[in-house]
Structure 1
Amino acid sequence: MRKLLCGALALLLLVALGGYGLWTLQRPEGHYLSDLRVELALNHGEPGGRGNLLGVEPLLFPGDYQNLARLERKLAAYLQQARDQGLIDARTVVVLPEHVGTWLWARGEKNALYQVTHRREAWQWLELSNPLHYGVAMLRATGDDRRADAHLRMKAEQMAADYQQLFGGLAKRFQITLVAGSIILPAPFITEGVLHAGSGPLFNASVVFAADGSPLGQPQRQRYPDSELRRFVEPGAGAPAQVLDTPAGRLAVLVGSDSWYPQNYQRLHAQSVELIANPAFVTGRDPWQAPWRGNRHQPAAQALPLKRGEVSERDAWQRLTQAAGGGATSISVFARGQFWEQTVGGQGFVNHAGQSLAAPPSQGARMLNLWL
């Protein structure tokens, strides 16, 4: 009798495990409607044959990342509207916001992940749906927040491939130079024109794609990760400062709050930089008007001329970026939207010829254009 009972329990366990295994493989997709409109919030200067900097601030939600086709459709719709308005030609440099690639960790998951209201619930769905990958990633995770590290590490190879396919494809389709925001990957590198995830610590990095869809240079790592990232993202202080030749001029990328620090610009000016793209990201309710949070965990931030809480996020970003830039032409571009309970905001701006140019605050997707 005991053997019979044990056999029955073992069979039930095998059936349960088999059912769970099949459940983890199922990825049904629900219907999804998304607003594809975009506002031209700033259009400064006149076309003169030198090209333009075009910042695109997309309105994004978790459902946009359920598959690549959805995200590609939205971003391509914005770029097509820019083309229809005469804002895209062979010398155009398009800049997307920070972390537009990081959210690719959510690609290809169960419907429930996109429908819950809190990130922790989304994380639980991710872990339950990918138990083996998550377990292996936890064993390899580093940093103070090993859970966040594991979420990104377990999807890293897929994320790197998706990132290149999506943004390299958009660059080729619209024949533009595309600064593809940023993506968090373990020790990312490019070899023979292909972006790979390495096996080291996580870095927040940006890749620039040429008009033929190929990456230019190596991923530009963020040197000074902000307070929200420091628990699982490694500072890229040892990474070289790259200046890339583009049809519009010599271009460099400063990721996120790296635009605050004068030493970053000094390294770029030594290489005759002409254009600086700054993909950026801020969170919170009405984050642009909230007190500036600074970066109390970075020793370099102690030398900045502003103190935490002294001014708004808007004033801090605009003042620090203009003061540090040393006369370079730069554009700062922010993500917008809602990711579970986290509101993503910010209002992009341009520094050009000693002027700081910003459009009136607005909601929804926006574009900022500067003719060079």
Structure 2
Amino acid sequence: MRKLLYISLSLALMALLTSYALWTRDRPQAHYLSDLRIQLAVNQGTPADRGNLLAVQTEVFPTDYQNIERLHRKLAAYLQQAREQGLVNAKTVVVLPEHIGTWLMVGGEKNELYQARSLKEAMNWLAVSNPLPFLKALIGAKGQSRLDDAYLRMKAKKMAKDYQLLFGGLAREFQVTLVAGSIILPEPSVSQGRLQIGSGALYNSSLVFGSDGLPIGQPQRQVYPTSAESGYVSGDTRQGLQVIDTPAGRLGVLIGSDSWYPESYRTLNQQGARLVAVPAFIMGRDGWEQPWRGDQRIASLEPGALSQGQAWQRLTLSAQAPGSLANAGVSVFLRGQFWDQGSSGQSFINSQGQVFADQGKQGARLLNLWL
């Protein structure tokens, strides 16, 4: 009798494991609708033959990431509308927001993940739907926030492939130089024209693609991650900031909080940067209006003295001391709703010491600066 009971339990366990394995492999596609409209919020300067900086403040949602075809459709629609308004040419530098590539981590998942009520619940579905990759990533996780590390690390190889395929493809399709926002990957590097990952620490990185669809230089790794990300994202002070040549001039990329520090601009000055692109992201629907919390590395700005939005505009490019030698810059924020986590941030342009900002709080926006 005992033997029969063991056999029955074993068979039941095998059936349960088999059902679970089959469930994890099932990835049905849900019905999908998305707003492809984008408004021109700022158009500064006069068209000439020197090119332009074009910031694309995207509005994205988890379902946009279910596959890269969906995300391509939305981003291509944005760029096509910019082209129809005469804002795209061979010297255009398009700048996308911070973390637009990071959310590729939720691509190709089960509908339960996209229908989750909270970010925490969505991440639970991500782990449950990919048990073996998640356990492997958790074992190799680094930093204090091992769960956050594991969520990103488990799909990093596919994320890197999709990132290059999507954003390199858009640069080639529209014949522009494209600053592809940012993506968090373990030790990203470019070898023989391909974005690759390592097994070390996670870095928030940005890659610039030329009009041939190929990467220009190495990924720019963030130097000064925010305190909220420092538990799983490392800052790279060894590689430092790099400046690349584009048809519109020498360009430096400062990811998010890197744009706050005078040292960043001194480094770019030394390399002759004339254009600055700042992909940015603020989590929280009202984060832009919240008081500036301060940063011990920035003595010039007291906590609570300004709103976070005012601090961004005060610290970025136009008011830097000893000053940036760049002629122009754009700061572009990722907008959208990620389960129970909204986002904020109002994109703006810096030109000759002046700030030209988008005042809209919802929807996708284009901000253009003729050089």
**TM-score after normalising by structure 2:** 0.97
Instruction: Point out where structure 1 has 5 or more consecutive residues left out of the alignment.
Output: 296-300
Query: Could you tell me how far apart the structure 2 residues matched to 1:242 and 1:302 are?
Result: 22
SS for the counterpart of 2:343 is strand
Distance 2:128 2:358 in 1: 44
* Aligned match of 2:275: 275
Q: Distance in 1 between matches of 2:325 and 2:349?
A: 12
Q: Distance in 2 between matches of 1:178 and 1:293?
A: 32
* 1:319 correspondence with 2:301: no
* Structure 2 stretches lacking a partner, 5+ long: none
TM-aligned CA distance change 1:29 to 1:55, over 3 Å = same
Written as runs of structure 1 = structure 2, the 5 A alignment for 1:248-327 is 248-295=248-295, 301-321=296-316, 322-324=318-320, 326-327=324-325
CA distance in 2, matches of 1:85, 1:327: 30
Q: C-alpha distance in 1, partners of 2:268/2:159?
A: 29
Contact 1:327 1:352 (C-alpha < 8 Å) held by counterparts: no
User: Which piece of structure 1 moves more, 340-349 or 281-290?
Assistant: 281-290
Per the alignment, in what secondary structure is the counterpart of residue 190 of structure 1? strand
Corresponding position of 2:137: 137
Question: Number of residue pairs matched?
Answer: 367
Kindly state the Cα deviation for residue 239 of structure 1 after the two structures are TM-superposed. 1.7
Aligned equivalent of 1:346: 345
- Measured against aligned partners, the alpha-carbon deviations of 1:233-265 in whole angstroms (never above 9, x if no partner) come to 011111232110110000110000100101011
Cα deviations by residue, 1:32-74 (Å, 9 ceiling, x for unpaired): 1000000100000111100000000011111110110110000
Which residue identity is paired with 1:233?
Answer: V
Q: Do 1:327 and 1:353's aligned partners in 2 also have CA atoms closer than 8 Å?
A: no
Partner of 2:334: 335
**SS in structure 2 of the partner of residue 137 of structure 1:** helix
**C-alpha distance in 2 between matches for 1:190 and 1:326:** 29
The one-letter code sitting in structure 1 at the alignment partner of 2:68 is: L
Most deviating of 42-51 and 230-239: 230-239
2:11 counterpart of 1:11: yes
Deviations 1:333-356 (A, max 9, x none): 001111011111111111111211
* Aligned positions of 1:211-230 closer than 5 A: 211-230=211-230
Give the deviation of 1:327 after TM superposition. Answer: 4.3
* Cα distance in 2 between the residues matched to 1:250 and 1:303: 27
Q: Residue 261 of structure 1 contacts residue 304 of structure 1 at CA under 8 Å; is this kept in 2? A: no
Q: Secondary structure at the match of 1:108?
A: coil
Cα deviation for residue 362 of structure 1 reads 3.6
- Alignment identity in percent? 58
Partner of residue 89, structure 2: 89
